[in-house]
Amino acid sequence: MEENAIRDVLASSDDKTKFEFESRGAVTKDLLIDHLLKIKPNILHISGHGNTDEQLLLEDIEGYKEEVSIQRLSDVLSGFTNHINCVFLNTCHSLAGINDFNKNIAYIIGMKNEIPDDVAISFSRNFYNALFNGRTIKDAFKIALSRIAMTDQGDENIPKLIVNKEALIEDERLLEKEEEAEDALINTIVSEEEIAIAKNGYKKSISFHYRLIILAVTFGIGLFVFLYFKGNSDLTSSLLGLIPSALGSYPFLEIQKRKNRITLIKVFEIKRKRLLNALAQLSPHERRELNDEFKRLIII
């Protein structure tokens, strides 16, 4: 039921494309390690049962329940703090008496006492509903807490949030490094300014060729009138035949070439934006290809 509730709120959320939900059932100790290695979750959610000795009940190889110390789980997760930002232990007594669960994980959510199943599911559903719609982990916790407080049963005193400030500071440092790396990556790709300069150059060239056409037409008309009044009809007829072919063979063709280039650059801009949206997956080879394509577009 809890899994379905989380899937439902994700499917109806505004930011569903930003999240992926992976679920695994009947998890043993070994399978837990396997899933952490392969899935690399940012939020580890463990739902099930716990006891008053601060232990989780996982499956063993024969399918029976196996007790796992919360502290031992904390130690295990030390090897996965590079991607785990939040641990949600939706089990009874999961954080009873614990205030220092893995200091390298920014957020720990658990239960101080026994919690009814329907309340645990409601809390989980409302937490993820808020999170999937753009709220922070702390705000999502408060919203979920306020929802179960509406029943006036005192259940809002059961969930517990541990915030490890040192891990938050480290996360901010890593984020800054990622942003710096992203900026450096963007700088290796042809810039919007370079694209704008290329388009403006083509537009100026088109304007020049239009002026050239106007100048040629004006000159041709003037020469035609001059020769006509001079009475040189043969030369006038020859001029009338030469002017259209001269105008059509060069300026109009050059104008069309540059218009085509502008259209291609606009298509290139769309491609560039799409690739920048997938910046983290953009390889050096793809960046070189993108830059080479732009160079080909601005060479006439």
Mean pLDDT score of the chain: 77
Residue 184 inside a domain? The answer is no
Read off the pLDDT of each residue in 237-265 and give the average, rounded to a whole number: 69
Residue 182 inside a domain? The answer is no
- Residue 104: per-residue pLDDT: 86
Q: Are residues 79 and 173 in the same domain?
A: yes
- Residue 129: per-residue pLDDT: 93
CA 61 vs CA 14, 31, 56, 143: distances in Å: 40, 10, 16, 38
| Distance of alpha carbon 78 from alpha carbon 85, whole angstroms | 12
Is residue 288 predicted with pLDDT exceeding 60? yes
Read off the pLDDT of each residue in 12-20 and give the average, rounded to a whole number: 82
| Distance of alpha carbon 189 from alpha carbon 89, whole angstroms | 44
Is residue 281 predicted with pLDDT exceeding 60? no
- Res. 254 pLDDT band, cuts 50 70 90: confident
Q: Are residues 34 and 57 in the same domain?
A: yes
- Residue 256: per-residue pLDDT: 81
- Tallying the residues shown for the chain, one arrives at 300
Read off the pLDDT of each residue in 27-50 and give the average, rounded to a whole number: 86
- Res. 44 pLDDT band, cuts 50 70 90: very high
- Residue 134: per-residue pLDDT: 85
Q: Which residues contact 271 (CB under 8 A, 6 or more apart)?
A: 290
Residue 155 inside a domain? The answer is yes
Domain count, the chain: 2
CATH number at residue 126: 3.40.50.1460
| Residue 127 and residue 10 in contact, taking contact as beta carbons nearer than 8 Å | no
Does 78 or 60 have the greater pLDDT score?
78
Percent of the chain with pLDDT over 70: 69
| Residue 207 and residue 259 in contact, taking contact as beta carbons nearer than 8 Å | no
Q: Are residues 159 and 211 in the same domain?
A: no
Q: Are residues 142 and 7 in the same domain?
A: yes
Residue 202 inside a domain? The answer is yes
Q: Are residues 94 and 211 in the same domain?
A: no
| Residue 101 and residue 108 in contact, taking contact as beta carbons nearer than 8 Å | yes
| Distance of alpha carbon 26 from alpha carbon 64, whole angstroms | 10
Does 58 or 129 have the greater pLDDT score?
129
Is residue 142 predicted with pLDDT exceeding 70? yes
Is residue 126 predicted with pLDDT exceeding 90? yes
pTM over 0.75: no
- Residue 63: per-residue pLDDT: 55
Structure confidence by residue, pLDDT tens digits, 90-110: 888 788 767 678 888 889 998
Residue 86 inside a domain? The answer is yes
Residue 116 inside a domain? The answer is yes
| Residue 92 and residue 115 in contact, taking contact as beta carbons nearer than 8 Å | yes
Domain encompassing residue 69: 2-177
| Distance of alpha carbon 123 from alpha carbon 249, whole angstroms | 75
Q: Are residues 27 and 138 in the same domain?
A: yes
- Taken in order 132, 135, 136, 141, the sign of the CA dihedral is negative
Question: Can you list the pairs that 182-190 forms with residues at least 24 positions away whose Cβ atoms lie under 8 Å?
Answer: 182/279, 182/280, 185/279, 185/282, 185/287, 186/276, 186/279, 188/284, 188/287, 188/291, 189/272, 189/275, 189/276, 189/282, 189/287, 189/290, 189/291, 190/272, 190/290, 190/291, 190/294
Q: Are residues 142 and 265 in the same domain?
A: no
Q: Which residues contact 125 (CB under 8 A, 6 or more apart)?
A: 2, 5, 6, 8, 9, 144
Q: Which of 117, 151, 177 is the last residue of a domain?
A: 177
CA nearest neighbour of 167 among 46, 88, 76, 81: 81
Structure confidence by residue, pLDDT tens digits, 150-166: 887 888 888 988 888 77
- Residue 59: per-residue pLDDT: 58
Is residue 25 predicted with pLDDT exceeding 70? yes
Phi, psi dihedrals of residue 47, rounded to the nearest 5°: -115, 140
Q: Which of 110, 145, 177 is the last residue of a domain?
A: 177
Residue 117 inside a domain? The answer is yes
| Residue 158 and residue 112 in contact, taking contact as beta carbons nearer than 8 Å | yes
Residue 87 inside a domain? The answer is yes
Bridge partners of residue 170, in order along the sequence: none
Q: Are residues 269 and 145 in the same domain?
A: no
Place of tokens 């059932």: 25
| Residue 51 and residue 67 in contact, taking contact as beta carbons nearer than 8 Å | yes
Per-residue burial over 218-252, b if 16 or more Cβ lie within 10 Å, else e, is eebeeebeebeeeeeeeebeeeeeebeeeeeeebe
- Residue 47: per-residue pLDDT: 83
Q: Are residues 117 and 144 in the same domain?
A: yes
Q: Which of 177, 206, 221 is the last residue of a domain?
A: 177
Q: Are residues 121 and 240 in the same domain?
A: no
Structure confidence by residue, pLDDT tens digits, 163-197: 887 777 655 565 555 555 555 555 666 777 777 88
Q: Are residues 220 and 143 in the same domain?
A: no
Q: Are residues 196 and 155 in the same domain?
A: no
